[in-house]
Amino acid sequence: MAARLYSSSSSSSAASAVVVGVKPAAYGFVASVIMTMVAGERMAEEDVLRFKAITEAGLAAAGAANRQDFLPFLRLLDFGRARRRLAGIAKERHDFGQRIVDEYRRRHRRRLAVAADDSSSSPPRRTVIGDLLRQQESSPESYADEVIRTVCLSLLQAGTDTSASTIEWAMALLLNNPDVLRKATDEIDSVVGMSRLLQEPDLANLPYLRCIITETLRLYPLAPHLVPHEASRDCMVAGHVIARGTMVLVDVYSMQRDPRVWEDPDKFIPERFKGFKVDRSGWMMPFGMGRRKCPGEGLALRTVGMALGVMIQCFQWERLGKKKVDMSEGSGLTMPMAVPLMAMCLPRVEMESVLKSL
Ligand code: HEM
């Protein structure tokens, strides 16, 4: 990501500021991180674009209101062609997922052939597909290709848009709060320095950056009502009777801005999480809670931390004009910015030698 941003901002002679779409830059980085975990390879640029288009079409279709949800007899006619549209998206997902699995198999066979000729070659890194294919050998029915590609697509789909949008919201907040951006830059400069790129182990020593991410997730939880759950038995919640079978949405957005819990709830104050200890933790649940809590939380915090940390360490960021960034929320199943963030990005002079070496 840093190399790509640098190459787009450096002409043959000198670096200059360029206007950057923050979410597309973040999306490519996040997709590659998750793809490396899933298949051991980064995602090619054209695949990033294709996957993004499939995901966006899926989210739009899943979030759309359909008359046949309320008038079931319309399903017989495929009113509004919703079923046909969903089937088309499902086929594209299927083909994309199967290609990832098939390509992994091809590479793996080639690696085995090389290893047979060269006993000094190092063993392959563990990946999600590699582990699942090994299980497939002993239990082919439970680990059919369909299961493997569904796991891969779920990880990619649940992890990319959410993490990339969080990076975009965080950068928008930083652009509207230059003092916070300056403090974050100072922290990274003093902990990491300017002679090398920030690495994942550095994140543990960057508490202010972590506060920025937590405060971003408080103000802009990507799933503002989590995902729909269903009560498995009759129960009471806060004095309300919830009958078995009721769909339950948790209004995390309001909880995380509740003035009875948070001082200046609508203000971006990362310092509120300094040494944060927990009697309010029940009021923060951007990743959900309990058994169906997001399993990607740890990965998401690292990926968002790395992306944001490197962006701050290597580049100077500014708004396009004097006006503050528009922080309105758009519509959708995950909460996007209504106006996608564009920002001015200039390589920091102190980081040029590191950036040139990438
Ligand atoms: C900032 C980034 C992310 C946010 C805000 C987020 C948030 C959430 C939320 C709110 C849920 C629903 C929890 C519930 O049912 O109550 C969820 C589920 C899930 N997330 Fe994430 N997530 C993020 C990143 C990731 C990543 C990086 C991955 C994996 C690569 C991931 C994988 C999943 C999966 C597989 C589920 C479904 C779990 C289940 O149904 O049991 N997420 N996430």
Distance 220 CA to ligand 1 centre (A): 15
Query: Is residue 328 domain-resident?
Result: yes
User: Which range marks the domain in which residue 250 is found?
Assistant: 18-352
Residue with tokens 């046909």: 84
Position 7 in a domain? no
State both tokens at 161: 């848009």
Nearest CA owner, ligand 1 atom 18: 294
pTM score, two decimals? Answer: 0.91
In a domain, residue 312? The reply is yes
% of the chain beyond a pLDDT of 90: 67
* Model pLDDT, residue 137: 94
For residue range 160-189, list pLDDT tens digits in order: 999 999 999 999 999 999 999 999 999 999
Alpha helices for the chain (secondary structure H): 2-9, 22-39, 45-63, 67-70, 82-117, 128-138, 145-176, 178-191, 207-219, 252-255, 297-314, 352-356
Position 46 in a domain: yes
Task: Evaluate whether residue 120 is within a structural domain.
Answer: yes
Q: How far apart (Å, rounded) are the C-alpha atoms in residues 28 and 48? A: 6
pLDDT in tens, 109-128: 988 888 878 777 777 789 99
Residues 287-302, mean pLDDT to the nearest whole number: 93
Per-residue confidence (pLDDT) for residue 14, from 0 to 100: 62
Query: Which of 114-128, 190-204, 225-239 shows the lowest mean pLDDT across its residues?
Result: 114-128
| pLDDT at residue 111, rounded to an integer | 85
Range with the poorest average pLDDT among 70-74, 223-227, 296-300: 70-74
Question: Does the annotation place 211 within a ligand binding site?
Answer: no
Angle at 161 between CA 160 and CA 162, to 5 degrees: 95
CB 187 within 8 Å of CB 333 = no
Query: What integer pLDDT is reported at residue 282 of this predicted model?
Result: 66
pLDDT confidence band for 11 (50 / 70 / 90): low
Give me the CATH number covering residue 159.
Answer: 1.10.630.10
- Answer yes or no: is 302 within a domain: yes
Domains held by the chain: number = 1
Record the tokens describing residue 39, joined without a space: 């298949």
Atom 9 (ligand 1): residue with closest C-alpha?
287
Beta 315-318 vs 342-347: how paired, if at all?
antiparallel
Q: Does residue 12 surpass a pLDDT of 80?
A: no
ipTM of this predicted structure:
0.99
Structure tokens belonging to residue 260: 């009875």
The encoded tokens of residue 12 equal 């043959």
Q: Is 6 inside any structural domain?
A: no
Q: Is residue 10 part of a domain?
A: no
Ligand 1 centre to CA of 294 (Å) is 4
Single-letter amino acid, residue 55: T
- What's the CA gap between 74 and 317, in Å, rounded? 51
Nearest CA to ligand 1 atom 6: 287
Mutate to test the pocket of ligand 1, among 294, 301, 304 (most ligand atoms within 8 A of CB): 294
Nearest CA to ligand 1 atom 27: 159
